[in-house]
Chains A and B, each alone.
Chain A
Amino acid sequence: MNQLNNFSKGIIKENPVLVLVLGTCPTLATSTSVINALGMGAAATVVLLCSNIVISALRKIIPDKVRIPCYIVLIAGFVTMVQMLVKAFAPALDASLGIYLPLIVVNCIILGRAEMFANKNTVLSSAVDALGMGAGFTLALVAMATIREVFGNGTFLGMDIPVLVDNKISILTMAPGGFFVFGILIALVNKFGKHKPKKKDFGCAGCPQAAACGRAGVGCEAKETAEVSAK
């Protein structure tokens, strides 16, 4: 039951893209077509799964002070493996994802899950959490890509859709369309989401951009510790 919860929270309640708003760069950049979105989602999920498993297995060995560099090296290693596999077996995907494939290294979702979940939980829970988060990331990407591809290009998975293919809104597949569709999706989640979890619940430490997340400057980490000590 607990494991089920670990899995499902990543898909809906703590969806990394639409609720936690992590990993925006790859979301915006690779959601131009459904194929790209699936490829990016799968690549990120594989990296997330491997890194979560290894980091939670090593959580008692990695010294606390140097944990972030350790995580980054581990993640970079897995990203390189995925990069080589994609290059070898799906060269077309490699060409269309381009620079965004190596950039999985700096995807906030992966470092975030390592910091927030994997270094505190068992290997099994971490693996389940990674699968859930990966699925949530992929679903959000595919949802965005579907809107952008169907209306922007008149196709779905490369197949023409009768009426839409003659009346396409090409701007949706370009940069402005990405921002726009993402904004609308988040607004929809805000509108229909039952409760919006506060960013604090997940701790800002999870995001490498923590100090920049609006509470700029000393950042929320300092604030958080202050809150904790106040309690």
Chain B
Amino acid sequence: MTKFIIILLSAVFVNNYVLSRFLGICPFLGVSKKLDSATGMSLAVIFVMLMATAATWPIQTFLLDPNGLGYLQTIVFILVIAALVQLVEIVLKRYIPSLHQSLGVYLPLITTNCAVLGVTILNITESYTFLESMVNSLGSGLGFFLAMVMFSGVRSKIEGADIPESFKGLPVTLVAASITSLSFLGFGGVVENMFPV
């Protein structure tokens, strides 16, 4: 049990996907302008991360590894994720239209989100068990959610600020991201000390 908590907390705070691993920067910079789109995108990412892990972990463990096809990992994973996202979209549209309305726009974007491919590959390289992988994906998704929501708050403050012409737009956003990520450095070592082994 402690192991799951450690994995979850490290994924959310210490190794935050956006702010310390630099995965999923495009949506982080692109969609974080408004709180509701930031929330929608993050929820879709959490959802797809869990689904993708649930699909790719068994494929790697029961299909690729026993047959010595480990080198096909990248191709198979990206295809599975792309197909899965399409499938999820179709199913949502047919059966849960209300959810599709709020998440639908973001789903196709997620196929090429490096955070999703990243989490599935990392689960394999860290040799997590199936449950640990799921917990790690949940934590990574929650970490993405946290970073997006926090950052959309930061950005709403920048909107009204008086900044030099050449810093307008992306540069000031990146500097703000730098300061946000600075705050996450403070979590380093916290989890290890909370649960001494």
Contact = CB atoms under 8 A, between A and B. Distances in A.
Interface of A: 21, 24-25, 28-29, 69, 72-73, 76-77, 79-80, 83-84, 98-99, 102-103, 105-108, 111, 171, 174-180, 182-184, 186-188, 190-191, 207-214, 216-219
B83 to A, nearest CB: 9
Interface of B: 19-27, 29-31, 33-34, 37, 41, 71-75, 78-79, 82, 105-106, 108-109, 111-114, 117-118, 121-122, 125, 164-175, 177-179, 181-182, 184-185
B105 A99 contact: no
A183 B174 contact: yes
Contacts of B125: 98-99
B22 A29 contact: yes
Contact of B173 (A69, A73, A105, A183): A183
B93 to A, nearest CB: 16
A25 B26 contact: yes
Given A24-B26, A106-B113, A108-B112, A80 B171 contact: no
A76 B78 contact: yes
A177 B112 CA distance: 26
Given A184-B175, A186-B174, 15 more contacts: A21-B170, A24-B26, A25-B26, A29-B22, A77-B75, A83-B71, A102-B121, A106-B113, A106-B114, A106-B117, A178-B178, A180-B174, A187-B166, A212-B106, A219-B105
A216 B31 contact: yes
Contact of B167 (A29, A83, A174, A187): A187
Contacts of A72: 78-79, 82, 112
A177 B37 CA distance: 27
A218 B140 CA distance: 27
A184 B177 CA distance: 12
A218 B170 CA distance: 22
A141 to B, nearest CB: 13
B162 to A, nearest CB: 15
